[in-house]
Chains A and B, each alone.
Chain A
């Protein structure tokens, strides 16, 4: 009844306008509710940002430092160091990072890897 009365009062232009607005509203809601900000990988050489990429694309990154090349691997949203010229290989032993705010570093070769983005369980990790 109410809908019929409403439709009866609408002109053709009104109907098009309402349809357009409804589509835009649904699209906006999908954008807000259905999608979170993607996480990014940031790689620093010393204090300089050397490389950044979305975390949802698998890749390998080779970064040159004072000791040689550090090889970083991104697979299934996880980042790890797979090869390093440093002596104790602590960076390889740290394993993979995947949460926003996680850090991985090879201090001797001055390579720093950070994951940035929203939705992490924590802002900072005490370890």
Chain B
């Protein structure tokens, strides 16, 4: 038997030791932000020491800036600007080919609901203006014939617009592709846990250390509130909504997701979130499903392999793909 209460002292020391090991610490994530492609990009990395992580994140941002230089229609020297000016076929980088091929594939799969050639329509609506306004119906209608059929012909590494009145604008899909490139850079640097968030276009590498990443889905009508959360690893999540960029005219909400068949904002949904393997594909599919509406949009997402999503219809009903039902947590 112990002559002194060593057990009691040992127990108290153990509590102290446990408390020390469980003490609250700041998150070990390294987070950095940059303004790229006209949007705020945040990269978070978990795991490596800060110095290695900082270097990898800088390289990932550089990769995104290279894609901006290739794809931006605001940059005169970009390859998309060059295609939009050219009247003959021009040679482009494999990255541009890959995104154009993806855009054409999803355009076909969605029966034209996604279209990579809305450059003129976007300029006409001009959401960047101080006071955007609804253009005349005749102006909109004049642009629609160019949007029928395939936008470009691809032969080897050469690309040519099939209609001189069509202007490419890969916008969101190029932003998604840039996120995918950034993730590839982080992966090549040996990082196993990271996220890249470009204005809500999210790409995930692994989980958040041991646990999955927790992704909040914005409620389309309740500012600052969540509709749902998802726990994901190694996935891409993109939401298209009518609430981010819009203006009101005569009591109507005019947002930036256009139906290529009418030239006006699509009206059947409030938001669509898509979960799939790459951010570029998620981006294009979220736009396509938004334009198609809850019934056809859900059918499209269900039909494609390795694609899940949730759709909030214009009247607020929520549709979820079968593979996502058990993963989603409603708020």
Question: With an 8 A cutoff between CB atoms, is A54 at the interface?
Answer: no
B-side contacts of A9, CB under 8 Å: 3-5
In the complex, chain A residues 75-116 whose Cβ is within 8 Å of any chain B Cβ: 87-88, 90, 95-98, 103, 105, 107, 110, 112, 114, 116
Contact A31–B216 (Cβ < 8 Å): no
Contact B215–A37 (Cβ < 8 Å): no
Contact flag A121-B229 (CB < 8 Å), given A107-B38, A112-B35: yes
Question: With an 8 A cutoff between CB atoms, is B34 at the interface?
Answer: yes
Contact B16–A121 (Cβ < 8 Å): no
A-side contacts of B25, CB under 8 Å: 37
B-side contacts of A122, CB under 8 Å: 214-216, 226, 229
A-side contacts of B5, CB under 8 Å: 6, 9-10, 14, 18
How many whole Å from A15's CB to the nearest CB in chain B? 9
Give the nearest-CB partner of A14 in chain B. B4
How many whole Å from A102's CB to the nearest CB in chain B? 9
CA of A103 to CA of B202 in the docked complex: distance in angstroms?
14
Give the nearest-CB partner of A47 in chain B. B34
Contact flag A28-B19 (CB < 8 Å), given A126-B238, A127-B200: yes
Question: With an 8 A cutoff between CB atoms, is B239 at the interface?
Answer: yes
CA of A110 to CA of B223 in the docked complex: distance in angstroms?
23
Question: With an 8 A cutoff between CB atoms, is A124 at the interface?
Answer: yes
Pick the contact of B33: A22, A44, A127 (CB < 8 A): A44
CA of A32 to CA of B35 in the docked complex: distance in angstroms?
38
In the complex, chain B residues 1-37 whose Cβ is within 8 Å of any chain A Cβ: 3-5, 8-9, 12-13, 15-16, 19-20, 22-27, 31-35
In the complex, chain A residues 9-36 whose Cβ is within 8 Å of any chain B Cβ: 9-11, 14, 17-18, 21-22, 24-25, 28-29, 31-32, 35-36
Pick the contact of A107: B35, B195, B241 (CB < 8 A): B35
A-binding residues in B (CB < 8 A): 3-5, 8-9, 12-13, 15-16, 19-20, 22-27, 31-35, 38-40, 42, 44, 128, 130, 195, 197, 200, 202, 208, 213-218, 223-224, 226, 229, 237-239, 241, 244-245, 273
Cβ contacts A to B, 26 pairs, < 8 Å: A6-B8, A10-B4, A10-B5, A18-B5, A25-B15, A29-B19, A35-B24, A88-B130, A96-B224, A97-B224, A103-B40, A107-B38, A107-B39, A114-B33, A117-B27, A118-B24, A122-B215, A123-B195, A123-B208, A124-B216, A125-B217, A125-B226, A126-B216, A126-B237, A126-B238, A127-B241
B-binding residues in A (CB < 8 A): 6, 9-11, 14, 17-18, 21-22, 24-25, 28-29, 31-32, 35-37, 44, 46-47, 87-88, 90, 95-98, 103, 105, 107, 110, 112, 114, 116-118, 121-127
